[in-house]
Every structure is written in structure tokens, then in C-alpha cells.
Structure 1
Amino acid sequence: MPGTTAPVFLVAELPAGSSAVLEGDEARHAVTVRRMRAGERLVLSDGAGSAADCVVTSVRPGRAPALELTVEERWSEPAPSLRVTVAQALAKGDRGELAVELATEAGADKILPWRAERSVARWDDGPRGTKALSRWRDTARSAAKQARRSWVPEVAEPAGTPELAATAGKAAMALVLEGSAGQRLTELSLPPEGELLLVVGPEGGITDHELAQLTAAGALPVRLGPTVLRTSTAAAVALGALGAMTSRWA
């Protein structure tokens, strides 16, 4: 992404011409938090692979702030041929949001909240569950901007183990991070394309029943190394290994 220090702002659609206006929440953040001024540079991104390098020509402060921009360069980044979906077990407190933040920064292409049996956090189908899902989505969006990613990972609706097993059955490869597994992640031969599902359990671990359902669907239990990682950090560490083992970091 050109402009390695310019802040990134997400828009629903990139401007078609040589000028643009940034409005709404992103403009409010640019004016009140970033305190951007005329002459400074920023990047507009649609979160789906396309971005534009821009120069601020004028700033309109007030209750409805806006930035007038000149578009200087555009580019597109294709989606990786091997896409990684992280099935992240729900975690208590802010650990779930930390897991989403780190996984997004490490390159997750999609995040699937998993209602694991031992998850302390419980998302219902009412307002509380909707609010929790919204926090995860906001976290992914903010982390993608911070990491200067052209792609913002989708945070899907939460799934139970039967739905997760069905997803595993359709993936090019499905891996379950399990500390007692005999095989290491780094020993695997990974597919060059398609979806790779990475399952991260809760702090209390994955139950035998859940593991049986997932392996019956074709998932493979693997371990990362000799240490035990928290649910909030496991996906990021695994994504780092996958980036080095495949063309995802090329």
C-alpha cells in the first residue's frame, strides 16, 4: 500500500473522479482525533481490496465535519488465494475483542464467532448478543485500519458446533488448535488455494465431544509448539506461521 505513514479511512465506495469528500464518522475522526489539516495525506479504502492515496485540500469543521480531497493514486490488492477463516471461541471480558484485533492484524480473512461448550461468554439472540457482535465487527474494522489492510475481514454471525463442523467439511483444510495433538502445524502440507479453517477453542479447552464432531467432518487437530497460548493470542500466532509457510506473505 503506497503512503506507508498516511492514516487509512474506510468508505463504502471509492470516488470515481479526481476529487472526493470524506464525511460521516470517518471525517469526524479525521478532524477531531487525527486533527488533519490541508496538505496532509490520507488513504481511502473500501475494505474490499481497493484504495486511493489522497491529499487533503480543505477541512470543514463543525457538527458535520468533512474533508475535501484530491485523489492522486489508486490501486487494488487481490484477495489471497488461500483464505483463512478463524473460528474464534467466545471469550469473557475483552479477551474476545483482543483475539479479533490480533487475528485481524495478523491477516485473518474472516472471523467466525464460535459458541463453544466451555465458553464463559454467552451470546444470546437478543440485544446483548447483537451488541457483542457489533463490538467484534468494530474491532476488526479498527484493527484493519491500524494494520493498513486493504481487506477488512468479515465477522460472521455466531455459530454452534454443528454449523462449525459443516463449515469444516466444506473447507479445503480445517485445523483445530489443540495442545495435546501429536502433529505440529509446521509439519503440514497446506493447500495452495481455497479456504483454510482455523479453529481456536475457549480458555477451558475444546471438549472431547466437540473435537469428535470436528474431526468427523474432516478437521485435523494440530499444535503450535511446546507452550500453551491463551485463546486471545493463539490465532495470531498460527496466522504468523501460516503466512511464513504459504504465499500469503509473498
Structure 2
Amino acid sequence: MSSLYLREDLEPAAVEASGVASVTGAEAKHAVTVNRTRIGERVSIGNGRGLIVTGPVITADAGELRIQAELIENVQPSSPRIVLVQALAKGGRDEMAVQASTELGVDAVIPWSATRSVSRWEGAKVAKGQERWASIVREASKQSIRSWLPDVTTLFSGKDLERLAAASHMLVLEPTAETALTEWEPNDHELDIVLVVGPEGGIAPHELERLQAAGATLVRLGPTVLRTSTAGAAALSVLNARLGRW
């Protein structure tokens, strides 16, 4: 099974000139001491911005992992982007949602403090929460060998979502919606598709009304009610098929 390691400052020109790619520090230590990567194994190194370099390991120690650059790929970002707005949720269900959605190809993640969110980020927790989600996204991207590392924004409020609805295809997952996600068709293929997933208790009626007034569309996934940890991933699967990503 192939593995991906990240080095954000890796540039295509430098790899093409040297014929090698490497990671150092904590990333190299993890590769060698935790993953037990050895010389001769075929792995990938990426920069999280479209570059993926693949080849056999030629140096493997705790200070540096180097590979021969047999294959250099520059992958263009997806268009349209799919953005997940995930409401904060208790019991780590929001983190489960972020991890699964990253593995399934989401292009950006927005944490949302919904009215019915039991979990709250306040004060210093805002920066810590964003950092935690970014770490989850990074590890999930490595596990799924993604060429682009999804962005994790700062915490959004309801007002922030209303502004975003006016500039995107915002799809709010709501079990009582008349329109099924499988029936929805975008009228502009350049705009981001923004999936909004509520917390454990669902999205409050006044939030639904305000998002609709701002231009959002309510959509349902099926006859059952999914948890906040699985709804976004399920919707992503539908959109991946519809957009030809899968």
C-alpha cells in the first residue's frame, strides 16, 4: 500500500532539477519510526497544492526521507469546488464528519457555530478548534493520497453563511426538504457547491428561513435521517458521482 508524506514548500522545478524529493523533521521521523518505511519501498511526497512525486525510497532515517522522482504529477484543483460547512457537534461527531469528508474529496471545510450546536468554540477554543480540524484534514489527506490539501477556515456564524449563500450554490441538508439531492441541478458550473450540515438537533427553523432567503436550497438525502457525522459524507458521495469525479 502506497503512502503519502507532505512537504508544503516542495516545488516542481526543484524536484525536476534534482530528480529527488524529500521530507525532514517530524514527517520523516513518522515515516521511518512509525510507518517503518524502508529503502526500496515506493512512496509519494506532495506539497498539498497539486504536486505529487512518487518513487522508491533512497534514504530512510529519522532525520530525512528521500525518494527518487520517477513520477511527477501536477494535478489541477477540482472545479467546481465542494465546500463542507460542518456544524459543531458533541462527542467528536463533527471531527468524524471532517475526516470522512476529506477522504471523500471535499475541497474546503468551514466550522459553523449553529444555534443548536451543543459544542462551542469560544475565546482561545476558536483557534485551537480550527487547528485541530486542520490536523485531521492533513492526516486524512495523507491517508487517502490527495494532491490538494483542503482549507479549514475560521469559525463561521449564521451571518457568515448567509453572505456565502449569495455567492455559491449552497445546499442545506434538511430531511424535510421537497427537493432530493439526486434531483438538484446547478445553473452555474463555475460556482462553489457548499454543503451545509447541521448539529445533532438539526438546523433551527429560523436558520433555515434566513439561509433560504439568502439564496440557499434545501435538499434531502433520502427517507431516513442521518447523523451529523455521516450526512456530509453521504452527500459528497452523491455529488462525486453527479460531477463525474468518481
TM-score bracket for the superposition, by shorter chain length: over 0.9
Deviation at 1:20, TM superposition (A): 3.1
TM-score in terms of structure 2 length: 0.94
Alignment-derived partner of residue 21 in structure 1? 22
Q: CA deviation at 1:14?
A: 2.4
Q: Which amino acid aligns with 2:56?
A: V
Instruction: Give the deviation of 1:189 after TM superposition.
Output: 1.1
Q: Could you give the per-residue CA deviations for residues 131-188 of structure 1, whole angstroms, max 9, x where no partner exists?
A: 22211111111111111111111111010000011011111x1110001111111111
SS of alignment partner, residue 29 of structure 1? helix
Structure 1 residue 129 displacement after superposition? 2.6
Distance 1:162 1:153 in 2: 23
Deviation at 1:125, TM superposition (A): 2.8
Partner in structure 2 of residue 50 of structure 1: 51
Q: Secondary structure at the match of 1:22?
A: strand
Mapping of 1:32-43 within 5 angstroms? 32-43=33-44
Distance 1:216 1:181 in 2: 15
5+ residue gaps, structure 2, are none
- After superposing on structure 2, the runs of 4+ consecutive aligned residues of structure 1 that deviate more than 6 Å are none
1:138 is the counterpart of 2:139: no
* Corresponding residue number in structure 1 for 2:198: 201
Give the C-alpha shift of residue 213 in structure 1: 1.2
1:113 matched to which residue of 2? 111
Q: Residue type matched to 2:112 in 1?
A: W
Q: Which residue of 1 aligns with 2:226?
A: 229
Aligned-partner Cα distance in 2 for 1:85–1:21: 31
1:6 to 2, 5, 8: 2
Q: Deviations over 1:180-211 (max 9, x none)?
A: 11111111112433201111001111111111
CA distance in 1, matches of 2:183, 2:126: 38
Quick one: distance in 2 between partners of 1:187 and 1:33?
46
Q: 1:75 aligns with which of 58, 73, 76?
A: 73
> Counterpart in 2 of 1:86?
84
Distance 1:213 1:112 in 2: 18
TM-align CA RMSD: 1.3
Distance 1:145 1:68 in 2: 17
Distance (Å, rounded) in 2 between the aligned partners of 1:200 and 1:69: 40
**What amino acid is the match of 2:69?**
V
The 8 Å contact of residues 14 and 51 in structure 1, kept in 2 or not, is answered as no
Matched-pair identity in % = 44
What amino acid maps onto 1:150 in structure 2?
A: S
Q: SS of 1:247's equivalent?
A: coil
Where in structure 1 are there 5+ consecutive unaligned residues?
A: none
- Matched residue SS, 2:189: coil
1:77 offset after TM fit, Å? 1.3
